[in-house]
Amino acid sequence: MDVIGENLKNIRLSLKLTRKEFAQGVIDSSYLAHIEKNKNEIRAITLVKLLDQNEISILEFLDRYGNTEKKNEIYEEQASQAFFDRDVDILDELLENSAYPNLIIRQVVCLMRDKLLCRECEFSDSRKKIIKRFLLATDSWNNDCLWIIANALEVFEDDEVCGIISLIARNYTEFDKYSDRRIKLLAQIIVNFLELCLKHKVPIWKINKIFSYMNKLPNRPVIFYEKARLAAIRIKDFYDKDYNRNI
Residues 43-52 have pLDDT tens digits of: 888 998 998 8
CATH architecture of 2-62: Orthogonal Bundle (1.10)
Spans in the chain with pLDDT lower than 70: 1-2, 57, 59-60, 62-68, 98-101, 202-206, 235-247
pLDDT at 245: 46
pLDDT at 204: 64
Instruction: Give domain limits for the chain.
Output: 2-62, 67-139, 157-247
Task: Spell out the residues 6+ positions from residue 72 whose beta carbon is closer than 8 angstroms to its own.
Answer: 102, 105, 143, 144
Distances (CA, A) of 123 to 72, 115, 132: 22, 9, 13
pLDDT at 1: 44
Q: How far apart are CA 133 and CA 143, in angstroms?
A: 17
To the nearest 10 degrees (0 to 180), the angle between helices 68-84 and 88-95 is 150
Q: How far apart are CA 155 and CA 87, in angstroms?
A: 22
Among candidates 136, 220, 214, 140, which has minimal Cα distance to 178?
Answer: 220
pLDDT at 247: 41
DSSP string across 80-131: HHHHHTT-HHHHHHHHT-TT---HHHHHHHHHHHHHHTT-GGGS-HHHHHHH
pLDDT at 241: 56
